[in-house]
Every structure is written in structure tokens, then in C-alpha cells.
Amino acid sequence: NKDREFYISQMTIELYYENIEIYKAAWEKIIDKYETFKTAFYFGEMKDDVQVVNNHIDFKWEVLTDYNGSIESIEEKERKRLSDIKKPTLIRFKHINNNQKNYLIITFHHIILDGWSLSIVLNDVNRLYYQLFNEEKSYIYNNTEFSEFIQNKLTANNEKSNQYFQNLLTDFPGFSFPSLTPIEKEGFETINKILTLDMKVIKNFCKKYKISLSSLFSSVWSLVVSAYTGKSDILLNKTHSGRDSKKKEQ
């Protein structure tokens, strides 16, 4: 739903860079590097939903000087401005000069960035900034074009990957979910319950045993599934695309 604001992500950072113009230039080069920033999305308007990668897009960096108002109000306005996924780029920058401090509001649609890819982009920007600032030879790593990715998906032979998982799961018994029981009469009852969750206790628990929140909740979910299915062998599928396999949690 393109009108839902929860698809919009945002971060506000205080800038300590000595040269803001060079930092801006670094962002502009990175925006031009990754095709995801030049992509528009068309849903429900054609036979198939499509992504369109543009050759060029406008770099949306706005400056607000001598501003002493609420940062939160600017953040809210920026979120509302980023709603049309047919108009790239789906990332905006608002540079605010406030009492001799510099803040940058970065607003982007979740369809182009997630937490993992955002960290890569921020590292790229930071590295490129210092190269430009120190007048070093700036080097932007080659990036796989979206067209190459699509071509690979269309021509890839999945037999090897399918065979791999078939061999891996040979001895896994699996579970057949019960069939749906016909309902003679439809009726619903709404029950509201408020559950409290002390995240500080949970985070301290994870820190103590050196596990992530994701691993903890995956384990809890496995116990729930085990209780409902009566199975002790539970298989969870997680996507680790792009992540270092050596750092995967066991």
C-alpha cells in the first residue's frame, strides 16, 4: 500500500564532517552508483508489476539554514513528501543548520533499502568522503547492474540448488498441516489483551549469552511450532544473502 507511512524509513544524524559540501558530493556519487536509487516502481498499472531503472535522476538534497524550530516537525514533513514510488529517487536529504550544528535527515522508502544495505551505503559514503577530502584518488567499486541480475535470474539453472536442498532434507520428516474444516456458521469474537514486554531484560539476557534478538525470537518461535505440531525437529529458513557466512550464528 503506497499510502502507508510505515514503508517510509528515516534517520537523523548530526554531522561532524569538516566539509559538508564534500560530504554532499560523496552522497551524490554513491546515489549515482547504485541503480536502486534510480529505480521507479509501477504496481497495478500494467499487465505485470515492473521496476524501471532510469539513466539519470535528480539528487534531492535541500538545505534549511538558521532553523531553530522542531526537528521532529521537519521529519514528519519529509516522510509525507516521499510517497510516490513512481518518482525516483526514493531517498531524500534535508540538511538543517541549527544553532551552529548540522543535522541531516535521510528519508527513504523501504523498497530500496533495508538495515543491511543501508550500512553498506553509509560505509561507502564515509570512505568516499575522506578520499575526496584528502584529495586522494577516489575509487568507486564496480556494481552489478540490475539488468545483469535479471538476465541471471532468467537464465539460471536451478537444478543444482534444488538438488542440494533435496539432499540436505532427505531425512527431514516434515509436517503435513491439517486440512481446513468447513465452517457451517461464521462468527467472530474479539478479545483484547495487553501484554507487557520488558525489552531491557530481554536485551540483557541476549548480551549475557551472546546471542542476537533474532536468534532468541527464532528459538521462541521454534518452541511454539513444536508445541503445536508435536515435532521436536523444527526447520527454519533464513535468508543470508549478501552476509558473511562465517558470521552466521549457530
Same domain, yes or no, for 117 and 217?
no
My answer on whether 128 and 20 are in the same domain is yes
pLDDT at 1: 55
Residue 99 lies in a domain: yes
- Judge if 109 and 204 occupy the same domain: no
Residues 98 and 20 in one domain: yes
Report residue 240 as a C-alpha cell. 543470508
Mean of pLDDT over the chain: 85
Specify if 158 maps to a domain. Answer: no
Would you say 93 and 4 are in contact if contact means Cβ atoms under 8 Å apart?
Answer: no
- Find the angle CA(72)-CA(78)-CA(79) to the nearest 5 degrees: 90
- Residue among 59, 7, 15 nearest 33 (CA): 59
Q: What is the pLDDT of residues 144-177, one digit of tens each?
A: 777 888 888 888 878 888 888 889 888 887 777 6
Task: Tell me, yes or no, whether 16 and 97 share the same domain.
Answer: yes
Q: How far apart are CA 201 and CA 233, in angstroms?
A: 29
Question: pTM (2 decimals)?
Answer: 0.67
Query: How many CB atoms lie under 10 A from the CB of residue 233?
Result: 12
What is the count of structural domains for the chain? 2
User: Looking at residue 31, what is its pLDDT?
Assistant: 93
Domain boundary among 82, 117, 147: 147
- What does the pLDDT look like over 51-91, one tens digit per residue? 898 988 889 999 999 888 899 999 999 998 887 888 888 99
Residue 114 included in any domain: yes
User: Averaged over 137-146, what is the pLDDT?
Assistant: 71
Whether residue 135 sits in one domain with residue 64: yes
Residue 27 has pLDDT above 70, yes or no: yes
What does the pLDDT read at residue 250?
42
Residue 205 lies inside a defined structural domain of this protein: yes
Largest CA distance in the chain: 75
> Is residue 179 situated within a structural domain?
no
Residues in the chain: 250
- In this predicted model, which residue has the larger pLDDT, 77 or 190? 77
Task: Report the pLDDT value the prediction gives residue 157, as an integer from 0 to 100.
Answer: 78
Distance CA 166, CA 163 (A): 5
Q: Please check whether residue 161 lies inside any domain of the structure.
A: no
Q: Do 120 and 209 have their domain in common?
A: no
Decide if 118 is inside a domain.
yes
pLDDT, residue 240, reads 62
Q: Please indicate, yes or no, whether residues 75 and 13 belong to a single structural domain of this protein.
A: yes
Q: Of 130, 147, 164, which marks where a domain is finished?
A: 147
> With bands split at pLDDT 50, 70 and 90, how would you rate the model's confidence at 243?
low
pLDDT of residue 39: 92
Assess if residue 213 is contained within a domain.
yes
Tens of pLDDT, residues 205-215: 999 999 988 89
Residue of 30, 40, 85 whose CA lies nearest to 61: 30
| Same domain flag for 206 and 127 | no
Q: Are residues 143 and 202 in the same domain?
A: no
- Same domain flag for 201 and 143: no
Q: Which amino acid is at 125?
A: V
Same domain, 126 and 16: yes
**What is the DSSP secondary-structure string of the chain?**
-TT-GGGEEEEEEE---S-HHHHHHHHHHHHHH-GGGGEEEE-SSSSS-EEEE-S-----EEEE-S--S-HHHHHHHHHHH---TTSS--EEEEEEEETTEEEEEEEEETTT--HHHHHHHHHHHHHHHHHHHTT----------HHHHHHHHHH---HHHHHHHHHHTTT----PPPPPPPPSS-------------HHHHHHHHHHHT--HHHHHHHHHHHHHHHHH--S--------TTS-GGG---
Q: Give 248's pLDDT tier (boundaries 50, 70, 90).
A: very low
Determine the structural domain holding residue 218 and report its residue range. 197-236
Amino acid at 102: N
Query: What is the CATH classification number for the domain harbouring 43?
Result: 3.30.559.10
